[in-house]
């Protein structure tokens, strides 16, 4: 398992294969991931605990424990933590396929994991 510190919380990478990646994403209350999309990467998210707002192609949805969402390639999305939130993410393995359109931490346009 690999822990990756982020400005909004952290990720625990619990599975990494040539076909898929599994992560536990912890976002601190009030923090947000980048408004982003992926050219190839396909993600599915499942909320384990907490509450989040997720914007998907301009539509906002509240998600809580037990809610899931699929995010196909080219879909603009952003998760914002209403409370501390833990999300299980499973995706295809293209970890550097991130186009950041907007970011609270100055990382716009970068493509680093």
pTM for this entry: 0.92
Mean pLDDT over all residues of the chain? 95
User: Are 73 and 36 within 8 A, CB to CB?
Assistant: no
What is the predicted pLDDT for the residue at 109?
A: 75
User: Are 13 and 2 within 8 A, CB to CB?
Assistant: yes
What are the backbone angles phi and psi of residue 42, rounded to the nearest 5°? -120, 125
Token pair in block for residue 73: 């390639």
Residue ranges for the chain with pLDDT beneath 70: 110-113
Domains and CATH numbers, the chain: 2-102 (2.60.120.10)
SS (H, E, C) 31-67: CECCEEECCCCCEEEEEEECEEEEEECCEEEEEECCC
């Amino acid at each position: 398992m690999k822990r990756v510190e982020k400005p909004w919380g952290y990720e625990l990478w619990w599975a990494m294969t040539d076909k898929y990646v599994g992560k536990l994403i912890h976002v601190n209350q009030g923090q947000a991931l980048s408004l982003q999309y992926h050219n190839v990467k396909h993600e599915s998210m499942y909320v384990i605990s907490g509450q989040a707002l997720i914007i998907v192609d301009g539509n906002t949805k509240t998600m809580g424990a037990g809610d899931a969402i699929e995010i196909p390639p080219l879909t603009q999305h952003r998760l914002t933590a209403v409370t501390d939130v833990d999300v299980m993410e499973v995706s295809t393995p293209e970890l550097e396929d991130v186009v950041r359109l907007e970011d609270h931490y100055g990382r716009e346009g970068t493509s680093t994991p």
